[in-house]
Amino acid sequence: MSHSGHQTEAHRQKILVTGWRKAGKSSCIQTIFQHLPVKDVPYIGITQRIEKIDYDTIVPLQIWDTPSNFDVDQLTDTPLGAFSTMVFVIDMQQDEFYHDAVRQATSAIMRGYLANPSMNFSVFIHKAESLSEDYRLENYSEIQRAVTEELEDLSYPSFQKYAPNLDLGDVNTCTSIFNHLQAEIKYEMTSVHDVSLRNAWSRVIQDVMEMLPAVEALLLNFTETSSIDNSYLFDLASGVVLATDNRHRNDATMEQITEYLERFLQIREIYKPLVAKNTSKGGADSPAPKAANDEPWWENEDAEAPWMTQTSRLLPNCTLALWQFTPQLVLVGDLHTDTWQARRGMIEYNLTFLRQGVRRILMEV
């Protein structure tokens, strides 16, 4: 896939976001990918129809926000099998609707699997901030158990018309489907008030990144040769983590890095813009011309244009460094301050090879 901002719909990874009414489907999407302030979440209107959100990152995405009365049979122009991922959102504070939501989730997941056996499934157990920690964990576990039990008790033969090539009356076939779904469904406890929602979307996007192993291998090599503790590749606009070196990773560090990036991006306008201003025509404030024929960004890139960089010393011996790779991607690394001071030249030398490697992967996908 090209990393251009002009992707055709057919080349986008489609993500279907559905769920029980008032579960927070739209807030899950808009706070991450459309920059909706969290304070405005209570004022989101009810979604009346399917809305498609095109989003360009390391892989081009199309996220479908669905209304509360949505049923997969309403997908008339786009077949269910065209989606690479289904995200089902459940409001964890709606105890009285658990079982109805779970039944809807298992039915939608089953339909998704029969339409596309390679489809990824995530259940966002949302609005975690509304409950105390004890009740939060209890409800989270209860919903997981309920989904598993509902899948086990599902009337598989009733789905036979959606799977003409399978015998859903066969016990072994049904057991195989159940075992697959039980292992593949990912559960995420999420809230718009902390990094949990962003981390959940990180895992959703990573699941559709065919180039993920190659990018992670590059990050691991960079981390080891540069004596950096950890490195993270982020989507610049949303703050979603696209890849990590997977070395010494822990949730506390991840949360610290994500919060750092979120706060930094709030003031990034004071840094020099990525694209140099065009002073040849139209005055100093005229934007640089777009690539002809919808070419990918790298075909029209100014090799002399500066890339955003920044470092922050959080603690006496802890430094975070940020480097922009592409218009959409930024690398953040955490390391010891004395390592940064002593080996900065070598780190930035290694960085040129990492950036070339990531860019080459993007151009070949």
Question: Looking up tokens 């976001």, which residue turns up?
Answer: 17
Q: Outline where DSSP puts E strands in 83-127.
A: 85-91, 120-126
Question: Looking up tokens 């922050």, which residue turns up?
Answer: 312
Whether 133 and 231 map to the same domain: the answer is no
Whether 193 and 228 map to the same domain: the answer is no
Helices 196-207, 25-33: axis angle to 10 degrees equals: 80
**Domain, as residue range, for 178:** 9-207
Whether 13 and 125 map to the same domain: the answer is yes
| Residue among 340, 278, 270, 347 nearest 308 (CA) | 270
pLDDT interval class at 282 (50, 70, 90): very low
- The answer to whether residue 276 sits within a structural domain is no
CA–CA distance, 221 with 204 (Å, rounded to integer):
24
CA–CA distance, 90 with 101 (Å, rounded to integer):
7
* Cβ(63)–Cβ(83) below 8 Å: no
- The answer to whether residue 283 sits within a structural domain is no
Of 162, 183, 207, the one marking the end of a domain is 207
Whether 195 and 220 map to the same domain: the answer is no
Whether 186 and 217 map to the same domain: the answer is no
CA–CA distance, 233 with 223 (Å, rounded to integer):
12
Q: Is the model's pLDDT at 4 over the cut of 70?
A: no
Between strands 13-19 and 60-65, the pairing is parallel
Q: Is the model's pLDDT at 363 over the cut of 70?
A: yes
CATH code of the domain containing 317:
3.30.450.190
Q: Which helix (H) or strand (E) holds 324?
A: strand 318-324
Q: Which residue has the higher pLDDT, 99 or 285?
A: 99
Instruction: Write down the pTM of the prediction.
Output: 0.86
Weakest mean pLDDT among 186-190, 273-277, 350-354: 273-277
* Cβ(168)–Cβ(174) below 8 Å: yes
Whether 96 and 218 map to the same domain: the answer is no
User: Computed from CA positions of residues 254, 260, 266, 268, in that sequence, does the dihedral angle turn out positive or negative?
Assistant: negative
The mean pLDDT of the chain is 85
Identify the pLDDT of residue 133: 82
Mean pLDDT, to the nearest integer, of 170-180? 96
Q: How many CB atoms lie within 10 A of CB 5?
A: 15
Number of domains composing the chain: 2
Whether 97 and 152 map to the same domain: the answer is yes
Question: Looking up tokens 């669905």, which residue turns up?
Answer: 66
Question: Looking up tokens 């989270």, which residue turns up?
Answer: 140
Q: Outline where DSSP puts E strands in the chain.
A: 13-19, 51-56, 60-65, 85-91, 120-126, 186-189, 230-235, 241-244, 309-315, 318-324, 329-335
Of 164, 179, 207, the one marking the end of a domain is 207
Convert the pLDDT of each residue in 222-271 to its tens digit.
999 999 999 999 998 898 999 998 776 667 777 778 888 877 777 766 65
Whether 164 and 221 map to the same domain: the answer is no
